């Protein structure tokens, strides 16, 4: 007679959300917030754009282009650009402030607005498709505004602007973050991250500055002038 097979070892229930060896980590269950909306799982409908420098706390700003998805609502889903006042305009709800929020916070703002008598438990996803530009001024060959790409650093930015001019002091590169009035001297290497809206300024030699006083037309562009360059 064949020996009876040993009983299967009892396995405790797998904790919710724990990754399984043969598959992907399951998405956490969606939960409605007090406003009645459910934010879509990140990247549920299309690949998520990486936040600048991998920073999930990136704050949206004027000029950012957004990919907005409202699940099962194609008329509301689409591409939106944050206007000069910091707002986007959507069907049904009209103008909504977007600047100053993270993408996830904006999901909450939009979902809350749509839940006010328009949709029941709307599911919203917001991703940045194109970031606002950054600016580089001072002793570079082509000062102006440039499109931001992920993992931008000081060396990349200067290269985009055609490199240093002969008058540049290569060790004196200053960065002013958007929303501040303070320049900070930063290393001119790949460790200095540049973010959308930043202003990068390359200093010049004392001799070059003296020549600029004699010939104001040679003064490096201001931020306003740089912004006007296509």
What CATH number did the domain enclosing 158 receive? 3.10.560.10
Same domain for 166 and 196? Answer: yes
Tokens found for residue 96: 């909504």
- pLDDT at position 33, please? 53
Residue 1 within any structural domain of the chain: no
pLDDT tens figures, 84-94? 999 999 999 99
According to DSSP, residue 152 is labeled -
CB 135 within 8 A of CB 227: yes
- How many structural domains does the chain have? 2
Same domain for 196 and 152? Answer: yes
- The strand order across the sheet containing 184-186 reads 144-146, 134-138, 199-204, 168-176, 184-186
What 3-state class would DSSP assign to 183? Answer: coil
Residue 6 within any structural domain of the chain: no
Residue 185 within any structural domain of the chain: yes
Domain boundary among 79, 101, 130: 130
Tokens found for residue 183: 């320049």
Whether 135 shows a pLDDT value over 80: the answer reads yes
CA–CA separation, 40 and 70 (whole Å) = 8
Structural domain of 119: 38-130
Same domain for 139 and 108? Answer: no
Residue 178 within any structural domain of the chain: yes
Maximum distance among all Cα pairs of the chain, rounded to whole angstroms = 108
Whether 131 shows a pLDDT value over 70: the answer reads yes
Burial class (CB in 10 A: 0-12, 13-18, 19+), 230: exposed
pLDDT tens figures, 1-20? 445 544 444 444 444 444 43
What band does 29 get if pLDDT is binned at 50, 70 and 90? very low
pLDDT tens figures, 163-221? 999 999 888 999 998 878 899 999 888 888 999 999 999 998 865 555 555 555 544 55
Domain boundary among 66, 101, 130: 130
pLDDT higher at 151 or 227: 151
Domain boundary among 78, 112, 130: 130
Helical (H) or strand (E) element with 105: helix 103-114
What band does 51 get if pLDDT is binned at 50, 70 and 90? low
Helical (H) or strand (E) element with 107: helix 103-114
CA–CA separation, 202 and 116 (whole Å) = 50
What is the residue-averaged pLDDT of the chain? 76
Domain of 118, CATH number, reads 3.30.1950.10
Sort strands 199-204 and 134-138 into parallel, antiparallel or unpaired. Answer: parallel
């Amino acid at each position: 007679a064949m020996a009876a097979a040993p009983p299967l070892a009892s396995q405790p229930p797998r904790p919710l959300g724990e990754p399984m060896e043969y598959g992907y980590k399951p998405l956490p269950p969606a939960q409605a917030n007090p406003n009645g909306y459910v934010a879509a799982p990140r990247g549920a409908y299309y690949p998520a754009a990486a936040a600048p420098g991998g920073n999930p706390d990136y704050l949206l700003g004027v000029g950012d282009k957004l990919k907005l998805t409202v699940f099962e609502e194609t008329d509301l889903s689409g591409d939106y650009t944050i206007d000069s006042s910091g707002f986007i305009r959507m069907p049904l709800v009209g103008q909504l402030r977007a600047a100053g929020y993270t993408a996830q916070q904006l999901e909450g703002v939009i979902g809350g607005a749509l839940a006010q008598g328009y949709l029941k438990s709307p599911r919203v996803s917001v991703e940045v498709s194109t970031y606002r530009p950054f600016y580089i001024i001072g002793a570079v060959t082509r000062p102006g505004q440039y499109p931001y790409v992920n993992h931008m650093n000081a060396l990349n930015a200067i290269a985009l602007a055609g490199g240093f001019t002969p008058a540049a002091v290569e060790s004196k590169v200053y960065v002013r973050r958007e929303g501040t009035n303070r320049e900070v001297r930063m290393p001119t290497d790949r460790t200095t991250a540049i973010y959308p809206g930043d202003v990068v300024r390359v200093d010049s030699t004392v001799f070059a500055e003296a020549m600029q006083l004699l010939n104001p037309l040679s003064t490096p562009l201001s931020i306003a002038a740089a912004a006007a360059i296509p």
